[in-house]
Structure 1
């Protein structure tokens, strides 16, 4: 994705007839360790294989990493996306591989999106039913206007986003270099609270903006984050025009595992990552250290150690300080400190399958949809409805929450989570037999 921190047209490179690059012929077939078989690891391995190198992939759990599509038993092609589930069209590198694999995508049912027939906003016990953005109550439109004005006032947002969209690297760098010293150590909430646009409004406006937000939903779980993180999201359109992969996004990394590239150096036609690994990745890594001759020694949980000239780590960085034993000299003290202090945002989802997309049925008394995509300050926070067709099972993400809201749900057994979600939704839809 072309963005302020990475103003590089990666998608143009991977589509180029010459590929990403080349390695000297005497290096062809040389092994490179890839730690992690998620999307990053599988993409790197696939492209290195095309260049003639031999990726050796290590994976502690399952292929896909945080792209995990859990199939519902007895329902072909019906999944719950337990990891990433919505992908903006601005992620052009990602969609390059989606298209290469021939996978289908469709709009994600975000609030007030074209894929969502109706949205319900439930705050402080008051429920609002909306089918179009034009039906938003005046206060919500004012909050949306405040957010737009705050972005313009505090970040020159129109110029930044336009420069990103035009891939004007020099202009992006010029704008971003001015914003980094201002907002790098200041929070998202600081940005909102100190903006002239929100400062002139009641505190309740900030509260509603945090609970509901716009585009993908609420923002308050992001309030402690650096404002630069938020600018990265909105400047690259990550919160707009999101899509899902039909049948599950895990098909992408698994598809790359089995795909034989049309153009490939050194390897015979038909070579795949799966064949290079005899059907399965190497087991999880337990130790990484320097070895004689400027090699990297990688040890796995089966007790095997192999030497590599290069090792690419694609797993979450905290695993380097917890799950694996890493030689301290591999990184500087400041980098180790950064790895230890990296902040992660917990999330929680609870899915159920239904026999049909019943929510499209109309309430005979009100003429409204029986149920809608729902944003609320209750325990569920965000409820998403996935329509797979009138004659196929539907899927409801009963609750999608982050940070402290997620921690309320994560320790509970699944039946308890479902019951709590249904109880919360029953208060919003009292006449619906959930």
Structure 2
């Protein structure tokens, strides 16, 4: 690869560069169970992306996954909602328009996700993201009350004072620490080089915040105003100044899978992917046709209230659900936000003074940092923004932060609507500002800002705000989420590593997390991934847990297809520490 060629993005997780997509592609299964373990019943708690991926692959390997879900939905199977933050809402049957309340977009590099989407027949298309010409007609940056229009980010160089130098210094700093070379090494699958260069970045910058790197002379060396401008304009999807407190490593991991990649969305709603995991008919190792839906009798079980964990993994786990049922399983995969381990689901040992999680794992769970996030969308009957300055993406330092216009194509029926205006996509303190506000109040606030930024369309915007239908969510207020996702702050790398390593138990010869008991509980979900917020990595975490369950049951890898735990001791894969 030519050194002057922009490096490609990759969704290979640099901390553990295992190719999950290849592992389950082409009909490959995650392991071969001994005959005595075939049909083992496994509790999968949470029907989000990670839980559904784990259930689907456990089913393909010969287990019977029993899914529990706390979220309710009138149109979901058995009144339960599938998908977790894969949460799409079509407000009327005649609408083509879909409101994405969780997974709005994902990188084209997300091979595992795209592979499942192809299997389930879920259509994907380019997303109108910032500076994504020609997919996005226009990106308008509004900062300090002034507006700057751009097709690509370089258009801001001569339009927004100070941006050329700020962006150039940022790019130079990334090159200086070896970021672009790491991208090239990942693309070439040179894992030895990836490991060597990432170790240097990890050891040096693990204590650094994103803001420190932007300001420090041995980072990007920006002034405060330049850092603020760059943060508002965006250096990657959703990396605004809301994220200045995050670990620099978190930002670099995000950029590794997005810098140089376009973004995609599901025009029929990302919930279609969840429905695919649930209802797609696949085959077990004996060639019998089956689906997660069929194994579960057409509906998930209700919310879990308590888990009784046997110290001996061979005795499994007892799951107590809110309908009063208590049932024993060979193992349990726990995928909800891990804050629920402290606040919503009682996890207890059946033997006194025997921990369910070791002290290091409890420490990691208790020190998770969740970011608040809110989204407010307006479903409208026509694309009133077409060919105006609002046709695309608006980024601003005002209350609403980011707005997107999306055309979902011709309505599905008479009177249906095709347009969605994402009025606001906010994080952290910006989300907290409107957390107590009603939907009507939120719409009024965001329309006020957008009308000021786009005066030529202000009257139509106000009119559609009166006649359109608004949907909003604040993820920190959702009982079973309590925040959108975990993000790491400086000093969190040891916690992140331990959470990721939980699925390994002691299968590699010694506990992957010192002091961790070898019971039949497996943590998965976004919290345990290296780069949270991205659905592809949540899916991979479900595969990790599925591998752990299969290994506990005595499974061995299919020839030539080692799983994530089978390569754990390989120095190209073992997650690094800061020591």
User: Could you say which TM-score interval applies, normalised by the shorter chain?
Assistant: over 0.9
Which residue number corresponds to residue 145 of structure 2?
125
Match of 1:224 among 245, 263, 266: 245
Identify if the C-alpha distance between structure 1 residues 170 and 198 changes in structure 2 by more than 3 Å, giving closer, same or farther. closer
CA contact (8 A) 2:157 2:164 kept: yes
1:59 equivalenced with 2:81 (yes/no): no
**Partner Cα separation in structure 1 for residue 214 and residue 98 of structure 2:** 37
Offset, 1:266: 4.0
User: How far does the alpha carbon of each residue in 1:359-397 deviate from its partner, in whole angstroms, 9 at most, with x for none?
Assistant: 1235xxxxxx46442111111110101022377621100
How far the C-alpha of 1:253 sits from its partner, in A, is 1.2
Deviations 1:79-125 (A, max 9, x none): 11000111101111111111111111111111110321011111111
- Of the candidates 128, 131, 141, which is equivalent to residue 112 of structure 1? 131
1:169 aligns with 2:195: no
Displacement of 1:77 after TM fit?
Answer: 3.1
TM-score by length of 1: 0.93
SS of residue matched to 2:42: strand
> Does residue 147 of the first structure (1) align with residue 170 of the second (2)?
yes
Match of residue 326 from structure 2: 305
TM-score (norm 2): 0.70
Give the match's secondary structure for 2:456. Answer: coil
CA distance in 2, matches of 1:230, 1:202: 19
C-alpha contact 1:164 1:235 (8 A) present in aligned 2: no
The CA RMSD over aligned residues, in Å, is: 1.9
Unaligned stretches of 5+ in structure 2? 1-10, 72-80, 350-354, 412-416, 462-579
CA contact (8 A) 1:118 1:129 kept: yes
Structure number with the bigger relative contact order (C-alpha 8 A, sep ≥ 6) is: 2
Number of residues paired by the alignment?
424
Kindly state the Cα deviation for residue 249 of structure 1 after the two structures are TM-superposed.
0.3
Q: Unpaired segments of 5 or more residues in structure 1?
A: 363-368
Alignment of 1:269-280 (within 5 A): 269=289, 271-280=290-299
**Distance 1:274-1:267 versus aligned 2 partners, 3 A rule:** farther
Q: Report the Cα distance in structure 2 between the residues aligned to 1:413 and 1:108, rounded to whole angstroms.
A: 29
Alignment-derived partner of residue 104 in structure 2: 85
SS at match of 1:359: coil
SS at match of 1:312: strand
* Secondary structure, counterpart of 1:315 in structure 2: coil
In structure 2, the CA distance between the partners of 1:177 and 1:165, relative to structure 1 (3 Å rule), is same
In the alignment, which of 444, 455, 458 is matched to residue 430 of structure 1?
A: 455
In structure 2, the CA distance between the partners of 1:123 and 1:268, relative to structure 1 (3 Å rule), is same
The answer on whether the counterparts of 1:371 and 1:429 sit within 8 Å (CA) in structure 2 is: no
Deviation at 1:217, TM superposition (A): 4.7
Flag the 1:12–1:218 CA change in 2: closer, same or farther, 3 A.
Answer: closer
The one of 397, 400, 406 equivalent to 2:425 is 400
Task: Measure how far apart 1:419 and its partner are.
Answer: 0.5
Q: Does 1:414 align with 2:433?
A: no
Q: Distance in 1 between matches of 2:99 and 2:444?
A: 18
